[in-house]
Amino acid sequence: MRGVLRNRTFRRLFAGRVITNIGDSFYFVAAMWLVYSLTNDPVYTGIAGFVTMAPQAFQFLAGPLVDRWSIRRTLVSTQLIQAVVVSSIPIAYVFGFLTVELILVVMPVLSALNQLVYPAQIAALPRILDDEELVAANSLFSVAYQGFEMVANGIGGVLIGLFGAVALFALDVITFGIAAIVFATVSIPSANMLTNDDQPEDTSTLANDEGQVENGGDSLVTDGDGTHTETEDSGSYLIRMREGVSVLRGTFLVPLLAGAVVANFSVGMMLAATPAYADSLAVPIVLSQIGAAGTYGILMGSIAAGSFVGAIATNLVANRPLGRSAIVGYTLAGVLWSGALLADWLPLTALLFALANIPIGILSVQVAAAVQSAPPAEMVGRVSSIHGSASASMVPIGSLTGGVFAGWFSPQAAMAALGFAAFSLALYVLMNPELRELPSPGRVTID
């Protein structure tokens, strides 16, 4: 990890990701709890999860745009727009017209903007790092996502209990503004430029993410060998999209994607059921003062904590075969998650939730690195966004299903779907030779 942190561009990109991830965690936790507290109905929580995560299913549409647009401009503009949109919640609260309907409108808008943010960050990594550094970089990015999500969820639960969920939306305005400033300082090479990793980053010549070479204040549009050329249109949107699909077709990414669909459906069910589950969970007398909001924050924090530890531990198994890691990891996660639900006591349940998500966090980083390192650098934006949107398409459906399921049966039954999915995925990988024999992420290829 220290190697990638010596890269100045990566450090700034990482800092921006940390800040925006905190903001994302705040508004998601606040929105899910705010909807539940206003309605006291897990069905509405499921609907909130559905409209918030539905835009993820269309992330593939962002791929050709991310590969074509300036990454820096994309990141800065999305942060500023999100700051404006999220401010509508505290403003509505102050003037007395805050409703569930407003929340259900604001959340999908914020989520839609994020479908440009995350592919842009992912596409930037192969442009500034070597292939062998991608696992470490993705591990750090996962630390930013999971680790600071853990902190944000824990703090969020406390803030909700003390000041109400609206306070988190007010903080979001600040975090998005700061993230925009940080991203404005990032300079990323264009996909068609060859970078020299041995060259210091502060040399007089540096290709930025607008396809230009900054040289003593003068800007030239160049091709890969440094010769002066005109900017070329690399093809229509649909052609670029089909190119991304053609790279995926017939590769190990397709069965890997099928497993992700099952996993994300169960994650959606869990997210929708967690507020109601927190409201029904047995809590020790010493913790009774934290209320249901505090319990919700602890549970969400423990889930993120496990993923955080898993992200850090990824480098310890970076060279292990991905297929074998998946079999062991999913089995262990299923056992621990099921045990947490059977415990039905906040301290033990939170601990087992955290332990169950350690192998899940490891596998998430390994899969992300495999998706990035396998395709050509100029196709990473399209391939990762198509893969990401397809795998995430079941999260909103799972959320809607989980809310209805929790309302009809019980929150515990909806939460149990994640444990069942983990066992199923372990068996799926074991029975699929193509997945079972996958090498370490740095060695996978689609050539």
**C-alpha–C-alpha distance, residues 441 and 135, integer Å:** 8
245 found inside a domain: yes
213 found inside a domain: no
CATH number of the domain residue 24 falls in: 1.20.1250.20
What is the predicted pLDDT for the residue at 233?
Answer: 44
Domain limits for position 106: 2-189+237-443
What is the predicted pLDDT for the residue at 214?
Answer: 40
What is the predicted pLDDT for the residue at 191?
Answer: 59
Beta bridge partners of 221: 212
What is the predicted pLDDT for the residue at 216?
Answer: 34
What is the predicted pLDDT for the residue at 219?
Answer: 34
301 found inside a domain: yes
What is the predicted pLDDT for the residue at 211?
Answer: 41
215 found inside a domain: no
What tens digit of pLDDT does each residue of 175-217 get? 999 999 999 998 877 655 534 444 434 333 334 444 443 433 3
Bridge-based pairing state of the strands 205-207 and 212-215: antiparallel
Residue 377: name the closest of 207, 126, 138 by CA.
126
Quickly list DSSP for 328-395: HHHHHHHHHHHHHHHH-BHHHHHHHHHHHHHHHHHHHHHHHHHHHHSS-GGGHHHHHHHHHHHHHTHH
132 found inside a domain: yes
What is the predicted pLDDT for the residue at 236?
Answer: 66
Residue 371: name the closest of 238, 240, 265, 247 by CA.
247
What is the predicted pLDDT for the residue at 195?
Answer: 40
* Phi, psi angles (nearest 5°) of residue 77: -65, -40
227 found inside a domain: no
Can you give the pTM of this predicted structure?
Answer: 0.76
* Phi, psi angles (nearest 5°) of residue 417: -60, -30
**C-alpha–C-alpha distance, residues 253 and 421, integer Å:** 19
The count of structural domains within the chain is 1
211 found inside a domain: no
* Ordered alpha helix ranges (H), 40-95: 42-53, 63-68, 71-86, 88-94
What residues in the chain have per-residue pLDDT under 70?
1-3, 60, 131-132, 142-147, 149-151, 154, 158, 190-237, 241, 377, 447
What is the predicted pLDDT for the residue at 192?
Answer: 59
244 found inside a domain: yes
